[in-house]
Amino acid sequence: MTNSSSDNGNPFQIEIFPSRLVRPATAKELLNEISKIDGIIRAFIQGPRLPTEVPYGPAKGSVVNHGSREHVKVGDVDIELSIMVGRIRLEIEHEDVKIKLREVCERVLPFGFEIREGLFIPKKQTISDYAKRGPGADPKFLGLYDPKSKPDKQITILNSEENEA
């Protein structure tokens, strides 16, 4: 019998997969609850993109004003949601964090969800990552942003030692 990755004491990754696409109010509550849990190393929010302008067709360039593209405050940090939250992937330190996350999800996501364990955020650099960032790149940021984009636009640091000081 094989052991799951959560049995060996090393950090492991889980994915919260809600049964519905989450509106900003629920996303805000969920992210705030998650940010209060200790033992989360990094998290990744994924979902369908909400553009600010119509990207193609006869209305190309018109303003979209999507009701779900909102600023949400997680802890002390203001984040603009440019997607509708579809799944949250987390790297966590131990099994207890997963139990706490399940409790939070049961409370905040009444329409149902799944929690899966697996490898969702890359742990090794790809060739593109290496070409863009070189050998000295911070491994914590791996897989959290596109090599072509700027990290400060896509990554938010919560509960860091610098923030607390």
Partner 1 sequence: MAYEPQFYPGATSVAENRRKHMSGDVEKLREISDDDLTTVLGHRAPGTDYPSTHPPLAEMGEPECSIREIVEPTPGAKAGDRIRYVQFVDSMYNAPATPYFRSYNASINFRGVDPGTLSGRQVVEARERDMEELAKFQIETEMTCPALSSLRGATVHGHSLRLQEDGVMFDMLERTVLENGYIVAVKDQVGRPIDKKVNMGKPMSEEEAAKRTTIYRVDNVPYRSDSEVIEWVHRVFEQRTKYGFQPL
Quick one: which segment of 32-40, 56-64, 116-124, 128-136 binds partner 1 (CB under 8 A)?
A: 56-64
The three-class DSSP label of residue 63 is strand
For residue 103, the minimal CB distance to partner 1 (Å) is 20
The answer to whether the Cα torsion of 124, 128, 129, 131 is positive or negative is positive
Using the minimum distance from each CB to partner 1, give the nearer residue, 10 or 65: 65
Footprint of partner 1 on 58-87 (CB under 8 A): 58-59, 62, 64-68, 84, 86
Which residues are 160's β-sheet partners? none
For residue 80, the minimal CB distance to partner 1 (Å) is 16
Please state, as a whole number, how many other Cβ atoms lie within 10 Å of the Cβ of residue 113: 19
Please state, as a whole number, how many other Cβ atoms lie within 10 Å of the Cβ of residue 162: 6
**What residues have CB less than 8 Å from 73, skipping those under 6 apart?**
28, 32, 79
Footprint of partner 1 on 16-35 (CB under 8 A): 18-23, 26
**Residue 12 burial (10 A CB sphere; 0-12, 13-18, 19+):** buried
Among 51, 118, 122, 139, binds partner 1 (CB under 8 A): 51
Using the minimum distance from each CB to partner 1, give the nearer residue, 49 or 153: 49
The site that binds partner 1 (CB under 8 A) totals a number of residues, namely: 26
137 touches partner 1 (CB under 8 A): no
Closest by Cα among 82, 87, 63 to 72: 82
For residue 129, the minimal CB distance to partner 1 (Å) is 28
Residues that bind partner 1 (CB under 8 A): 18-23, 26, 48-51, 54-59, 62, 64-68, 84, 86, 111
